[in-house]
């Protein structure tokens, strides 16, 4: 039963108010990250002429933006939903990412590396023993 519960925790809360499912607002992702159409084209692997945010948006682009939205919300969850800390985390250069900001990594088409970095960091954080359970000599 514990595995089933973990399965449904894979969808993070929508701290950033991007919407989910049919209510997803894909335009909010490039706005949040400060991405240009050229950047969205690169990260979604679609022609720049296909970058649009209406009913004719390529499914591949919508899927990628939704993945990025979930990733941003995972980071927001690590900051207890603090929007300002989340924005800062994505914009500040990170030494463990080669002194490049997560935003720039995504902009340059290296989204998967950022996502793996976040997931690994979350796993390490969850694997650390709680100080409450520690014994005092």
The pLDDT value recorded for residue 99 is: 95
| 28 falls within a domain | yes
Q: Report d(CA 135, CA 137) in Å as an integer.
A: 6
Asked whether residue 134 is domain-assigned, the answer is no
**pLDDT of 137:** 41
What is the helix (H) or strand (E) element at residue 96, kind and residue range?
none
The alpha carbon of residue 32 and the mean position of all alpha carbons in its chain are separated, in whole angstroms, by 11
Does 8 fall in a domain? no
Paired residues of 94 in beta bridges = 100
pLDDT along the chain (137 residues), means of 10: 61 90 96 96 96 96 96 94 96 94 94 94 81 49
In a domain, 115, yes or no: yes
Residue 121, C-beta contacts closer than 8 angstroms, at least 6 positions apart:
78
pLDDT at 135: 46
Domain assignment present for residue 133? The answer is: no
Domain of residue 39, residue span: 13-128
Query: Is residue 3 a part of any domain in this protein?
Result: no
Q: 6 lies in a domain?
A: no
Give pLDDT, residue 82: 96
Q: Which helix (H) or strand (E) holds 127?
A: helix 111-127
| Any domain includes 48 | yes
Count of domains forming the chain:
1
- pLDDT, residue 125, reads 84
Please give the model's pTM, rounded to 2 decimal places. Answer: 0.84
């Amino acid at each position: 039963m514990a595995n089933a519960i973990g399965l449904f925790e894979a969808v993070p809360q929508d701290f950033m108010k991007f919407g989910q499912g049919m209510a997803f607002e894909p335009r909010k992702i490039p706005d949040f990250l400060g991405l240009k159409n050229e950047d969205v084209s690169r990260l979604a692997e679609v022609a720049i002429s296909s970058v649009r945010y209406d009913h004719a948006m390529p499914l591949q682009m919508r899927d990628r933006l939704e993945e990025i939205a979930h990733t941003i919300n995972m980071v927001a969850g690590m900051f207890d939903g603090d929007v300002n800390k989340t924005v800062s985390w994505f914009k500040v250069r990170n030494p463990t990412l080669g002194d490049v900001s997560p935003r720039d990594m995504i902009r340059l088409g290296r989204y998967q590396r950022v996502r793996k970095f976040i997931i690994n960091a979350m796993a390490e954080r969850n694997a650390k023993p709680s100080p409450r359970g520690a014994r005092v000599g």
